[in-house]
Structures are given as C-alpha cells and as structure tokens.
C-alpha cells in the first residue's frame, strides 16, 4: 500500500505541471495564494457560523439565516482551497506522503471536521431557527472550531516533521 | 527604527518564546486562524456589496453580523504576527516585500473600514452604486495582494 502510494506520489511530482510549480520562485507563492484565499473564505465562514451557533457575537441573524447566506461562498472557498492544496501537494508529493503531520491532517482531522461541518450546516436550520441556539448546536459548533484549529495546527507542524529525500 | 527592531530581536522574553517550537507553532495557528477570520468576514461583505453573495438579506445585515469577527480576527492576527516578527525582526525589517506587505495591509484595512462605515448609507440609497462596488472590489484585490506579498516574503526575500 505504502509502496503504491509512494509510486503515485512520485509520478505526480514528476508531471510537467508539478515541476513547473516547484521549480519557480514566483509560481509557488501564486499556488499558495490560491490555497490561502480559498481557506480564508472556507475557514472564515465556517468559524462565523460556529460562533453564531455558540451564541457569540452579534445576533442580527439566526444561525439558520447565516448558514443560508454563507452557503454558496463557503463551498466556493472549499473548492478553491482543495485545488490550491492539491497543486501544493503535487509539487512535493513524495515528502508529504511520509510526513506524519500531513497524514494526520488529511487522513483524520479534515474528514472529521468536514463531517461535523456538513452536519452543522444542515442542522443549523433546526438548531438555529430562533435567536437562541439549541444546546446540541452549541456543542457541535465548539467541536467544529476545535477540529479546524486542529487541522491548522497539523498544517503548521508539517515543516517540523519534514523528512527529506524520497 | 532599526534600534527598536534590534532591541525587539535581542529581548530575552522574545528570544525565549521564539526558541520553542510549540510556542511558535501556537503563534502560527493564531496568525492563520485570525487572518482566515479577518479576510473571510470582509470578503463576504465585499461580495455582498458586489451583488454576488447573500442577496436574500441586506448588506447592512451581513456587515453587522460579520464585521465584529473581522476585528476579532485582526486582533489575533496582529498580536501573533508581531510575536512572530520578533523572532526575525532585523531580517523582516530589511526585507522589501515585508514592507510591501505592511503597506498593502494598511491600505486593505483603511478600505475595509470605509466599507464598514459606508455600507448602511449605500444600502439606504437602493441598489449598490458603481462607486460602492468599486470600493468593495478594491478591498478584495487589496486582501489578495496582501496575502500574495506575505507569501513572497519567504519565497523571494528568504525571511520567515
């Protein structure tokens, strides 16, 4: 399994466009920009909804209304972040597939955070129909915040665990 | 200014903080989470002014809900950013792209404040004017440029 994964990573890293990304001082930051701009939309809107579920901040809108108004750009941000993230991954794929922080981020934390996010987004129509959110909504909002902070923590830990060479 | 920057980098408290991987990672998490909240909040309001987000509600309603999070994100990003700066203060100070980033950041914040201040007036006048949309578009572009400049600091100037 790990040999197949490494072979796939090596193939991806050797593609022309992956080499183009990793080989230029200017292109790589533009790809990072794609990832970070998408994340700003994605994480920013996720946190805004979770804080509203928790009852923090202004209560001008219910959590249900906020969830509806953020929905389209929330997922637009997600897809921009995924595209940027995939390009960053492909530029150094063989390093990433052996990095424990990256594996925890992509294999455990992101799937968990995504599931909790989808539940929160769907259920906020019920939990957040009125100004005061149901208790379950508050716990789930807090759980999602913790999970996304975990994802960011794993992401910033990737250089610490970096194992050079393939 | 250089003396101040040198004093920051040689301060024993900042040296101690920046020599711990756990603490510097914590600063980075605060910086990223803070700026995601900051940029995400203001971008949504800009997109609403441009007429391409949350059209079921007024721009004022969206701005009132999201702008407190813009300021919260800014506080987190600024404090953690300053503490990260102290670790390599002299190099950051001398890096041209870091200065560009700071100028773009100030410009983006000024335009962001103008948006926050003007949104209720723009809303009262009916459909968003071309002027309002231009300010919102400028705000978005300035944030994208700020992020790009920040990413170019390590790539081109080798700092951070």
Q: Mind listing the pLDDT tens digit of every residue in chain B (160 residues)?
A: 888 989 988 899 999 998 999 999 999 999 999 999 999 999 999 999 999 987 888 999 999 999 999 999 999 999 999 999 999 999 999 999 999 999 999 999 999 999 999 999 998 888 899 999 999 999 999 999 999 999 988 888 877 7
CA distance B108 to B135: 11
Residue A26 pLDDT > 90, yes or no? no
DSSP string, chain A: -HHHHHHHHHHHHHSHHHHHHHT-TTHHHHHHHHHHHHHHHHHHHHHHHHHHHHT-S--SS-HHHHHHHHHHHHHHHHHHHHHHHHHHHHHTHHHHTT-HHHHHIIIIIHHHHHHHHHHHHHHHHHHTSSSSPPHHHHHHHHHHHHHHHHHHHHHHHTGGG-----
Do the Cβ atoms of A66 and A114 come closer than 8 Å?
Answer: no
A65 touches B: beta carbon within 8 Å: yes
Q: Is A52 within 8 Å of B39 when comparing Cβ atoms?
A: no
Q: How far is B73 from chain A (nearest CA, A)?
A: 9
Q: Tokens 């989470």 sit at which residue?
A: B33
List pLDDT tens digits, range A101-144: 999 999 999 999 999 999 999 999 999 888 888 999 999 999 99
Do the Cβ atoms of A97 and A7 come closer than 8 Å?
Answer: no
B160 touches A: beta carbon within 8 Å: no
Average pLDDT of chain A is: 91
Q: How far is A67 from chain B (nearest CA, A)?
A: 10
CA distance B3 to B77: 25
Structure token pair of residue A75: 């997922």
Residue of chain A minimizing CA distance to B68:
A57
Closest in B33, B44, B62 to A149, CB measured: B33
CA distance B66 to B71: 9
This complex has an ipTM of: 0.90
Q: Which of residues 85-144 of A touch B (CB under 8 A)?
A: none
Q: B92-131 in b/e burial notation, b at 16+ Cβ within 10 A?
A: bbebebbebbbebbebbbebbeebbebbeebbeeeebeee
Residues A19-41 have a mean pLDDT of 91
Using a CB-CB distance cutoff of 8 angstroms, which residues of chain B are in contact with residue A91? none
Q: Is A37 within 8 Å of B65 when comparing Cβ atoms?
A: no
List pLDDT tens digits, range A37-50: 999 999 999 999 99
Do the Cβ atoms of B25 and A35 come closer than 8 Å?
Answer: no
Residue A60: name the closest of B27, B54, B103, B95 by CA: B54
Q: Give the torsion sign (CA, A107, A68, A140, A127).
A: negative
Number of other residues whose CB lies within 10 A of the CB of residue A159 = 12
Q: How far is A153 from chain B (nearest CA, A)?
A: 6
Mutate to test the interface with B, among A25, A29, A57 (most CBs of B within 10 A): A29
Longest C-alpha distance within chain B, in Å? Answer: 57
Q: What is the pTM (predicted TM-score) of this model? A: 0.91
Task: Supply the pLDDT for residue A113.
Answer: 96
Q: What phi and psi, each to the nearest 5 degrees, are found at residue B54?
A: 45, 50
Residue A147: pLDDT band by 50, 70, 90 thresholds? very high
Residues A15-26 have a mean pLDDT of 87
For B131, half-sphere exposure in the C-beta direction (CA atoms, 13 angstrom radius) is 7
Do the Cβ atoms of A144 and A46 come closer than 8 Å?
Answer: yes
Can you list the alpha helix ranges (DSSP code H) found in B50-129? 59-87, 89-94, 96-124
Q: How far is A97 from chain B (nearest CA, A)?
A: 21
Q: Give the torsion sign (CA, B28, B33, B38, B42).
A: positive
Residue B62: name the closest of B48, B43, B51 by CA: B48
Residue A165: pLDDT band by 50, 70, 90 thresholds? very low
Residue of chain A minimizing CA distance to B141:
A37
B68 touches A: beta carbon within 8 Å: yes
């Amino acid at each position: 399994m790990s040999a197949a994964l490494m072979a796939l990573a090596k193939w991806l890293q050797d593609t022309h466009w992956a080499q183009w990304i990793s080989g230029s001082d200017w292109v790589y930051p533009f790809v990072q920009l794609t990832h970070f701009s998408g994340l700003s939309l994605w994480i920013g809107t996720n946190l805004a909804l979770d804080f509203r579920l928790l009852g923090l901040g202004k209560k001008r809108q219910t959590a249900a209304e906020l969830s509806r108004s953020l929905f389209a750009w929330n997922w637009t941000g997600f897809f921009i972040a995924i595209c940027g993230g995939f390009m960053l991954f492909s530029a150094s794929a063989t390093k990433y597939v052996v990095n424990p922080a990256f594996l925890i981020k992509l294999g455990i934390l992101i799937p968990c955070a995504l599931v909790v996010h989808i539940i929160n987004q769907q259920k906020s129509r019920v939990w957040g129909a009125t100004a005061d959110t149901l208790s379950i909504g508050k716990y789930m909002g807090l759980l999602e915040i913790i999970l996304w902070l975990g994802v960011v923590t794993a992401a910033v830990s990737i250089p610490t665990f970096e194992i050079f060479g393939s | 200014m250089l003396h101040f920057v040198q004093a920051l980098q040689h301060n024993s408290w900042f040296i101690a903080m920046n020599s711990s991987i756990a603490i510097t990672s914590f600063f980075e998490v605060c910086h990223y989470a803070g700026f995601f909240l900051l940029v995400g909040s203001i971008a949504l309001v800009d997109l609403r002014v441009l007429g391409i987000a949350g059209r079921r509600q007024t721009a004022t309603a969206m701005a009132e809900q999201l702008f407190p999070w813009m300021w919260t994100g800014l506080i987190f990003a600024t404090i953690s950013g300053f503490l990260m700066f102290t670790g390599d203060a002299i190099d950051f100070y001398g890096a041209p792209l870091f200065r560009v980033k700071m100028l773009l950041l100030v410009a983006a914040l000024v335009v962001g404040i103008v948006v926050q201040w003007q949104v209720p007036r723009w809303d009262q006048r009916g459909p968003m004017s071309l002027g309002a949309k231009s300010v919102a578009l400028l705000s978005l572009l300035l944030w994208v440029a700020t992020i790009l400049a920040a990413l170019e600091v390590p790539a081109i100037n080798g700092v951070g």
